[in-house]
Chain A
Amino acid sequence: MIEGIAVLKLRDVLLVTMPADPDDSTVSALQSRTLDAMEQHDVKGLILDLSKVEILDSYFARTVAETAKMVTLMGGETLIAGMRPSVAITATELNVTLGATRTVLTLDRALDLAGNISRKKSVQKTRSAL
């Protein structure tokens, strides 16, 4: 039994949690699940929680980078949270990159940042309304 992707709307952001060792079809579902949820819910961005992930190979990394790019095109921001040390070391040695995606150590920090982003955006909205 392969564990799937969990998508949760949390205030202004989507929290997308990847399982420990997703197979290729689960990885490719990341894009569609995320973009569908972005469209469905009015959110400012996406927190991609990789804290369970034990393996980030080049295919997985490319899918994450592409998904973040698409989220940007839809007007959202992507934060990647919780990458394990062993995964960060291996990804670096493998020479994969996650594009221009912002990364944070923990889900806690991601939620703090997401709070700041949505506050800033609502301030901007208020200002432009004046």
Chain B
Amino acid sequence: MSEPEQGTVPIVLEADIAVARRVVRDVAGKIGFGVTETTRIITAASELGRNVFKYAGQGVMHWRTLHKGTSSGVELSFEDHGPGIADLDAAMRDGFSTGGSLGMGLPGAKRLMDEMDIQTTPGEGTTVVVRKWRHR
């Protein structure tokens, strides 16, 4: 698979988190990730998708395949126009939550993926981009 592919999953209903997981599973399978790597990617997508639903009400997940030299990978971008994250440093700490959850969404997803970028503006929204590379 050398042609880049991409797509978008709207996250509007709680059930869309599961839809996003299934799409990510298919994409990871196409890239050729193994079972454990695929599980890491899907779990990260589930945490980040749930953040979108819980904190912003709705948003989208964009996905695309990555190709660089002999490596391929996947990029997932979670975008919302919710309240934003007021204290990003705190949100990246294990156990910090303003939503009554366990607060492992962001730091947990970061550990499961290779790269994570967050852009957030209070009152405007949040974009979390994660990437996972498959090295040959």
Provide the bound-state CA to CA distance between A89 and B36, in Å: 8
Residues of A near any B CB (own CB < 8 A)? 2, 21-25, 54-59, 62, 85-87, 89-90, 93-96
Q: Which of chain A's residues has its CB closest to B50's CB? A: A59
Contact between chains at A95 and B17 (CB < 8 Å): no
For B104, what are the chain A residues with a Cβ–Cβ distance below 8 Å? 58, 94-96
| In contact, A54 and B39 (Cβ under 8 angstroms) | yes
When C-beta atoms are compared, the residue in chain A nearest to B53 turns out to be A24
Sorted from nearest, which 3 A-B pairs have the closest CB atoms?
A: A23-B18, A94-B108, A57-B46
**Which B residues contact A (CB, under 8 angstroms)?**
14-15, 17-18, 21-22, 25, 35-36, 38-40, 42-43, 46-47, 50, 94, 101-102, 104-105, 107-108, 111-112
- Which one of A24, A25, A89, A95 contacts B39 once the chains associate, using CB atoms below 8 Å? A89
Chain B residues contacting A85 (CB-CB under 8 Å) are 36
Please name all residues of chain A whose beta carbon is closer than 8 Å to the beta carbon of B105 when the two chains form the complex: 58
Bound form: Cα–Cα A59–B50 in Å: 9
- Given known A24-B14, A25-B14, A94-B104, contact A55–B39 (CB-CB < 8 A): yes
**CB-defined contacts of A54 to chain B, threshold 8 Å:** 39, 42
B97 to chain A, nearest CB (A): 10
* Residue of A whose beta carbon sits closest to that of B14: A24
Answer whether A86 and B47 are a contact pair too, CB < 8 Å, given A58-B108, A96-B104: no
Once A58-B101, A59-B50, A62-B102 are accepted as A-B contacts, the answer to whether A86 and B17 lie under 8 Å apart by CB is no
A57 closest partner in B (C-beta): B46
Question: Do A23 and B50 have beta carbons less than 8 Å apart?
Answer: no
Measured in the bound complex, the distance between the Cα atoms of B16 and A92 in whole Å is 25
| Chain B residues, CB < 8 A from A94 | 43, 47, 104, 108, 111-112
Residue in A2, A25, A54 with the greatest tally of chain B CB atoms within 10 Å: A54
Establish whether residues B101 and A62, one from each chain, have CB atoms under 8 Å apart when the complex forms. yes
- For B38, list chain A residues within 8 Å (CB): 86
C-alpha spacing A94/B111, complex, angstroms: 7
Q: Could you say which residues of chain A place their CB within 8 Å of the CB of B102?
A: 58, 62, 96
Q: Are A86 and B36 in contact (CB under 8 A)?
A: yes
Q: In angstroms, how far is the closest chain A Cβ from the Cβ of B108?
A: 4
Q: Can you report 26 residue pairs joining A to B where beta carbons are below 8 Å apart?
A: A21-B25, A22-B18, A23-B15, A23-B17, A24-B14, A54-B42, A55-B43, A57-B46, A57-B47, A57-B50, A59-B101, A62-B102, A85-B36, A86-B35, A86-B36, A86-B39, A89-B40, A90-B36, A90-B43, A93-B108, A94-B43, A94-B108, A95-B104, A95-B107, A95-B108, A96-B104
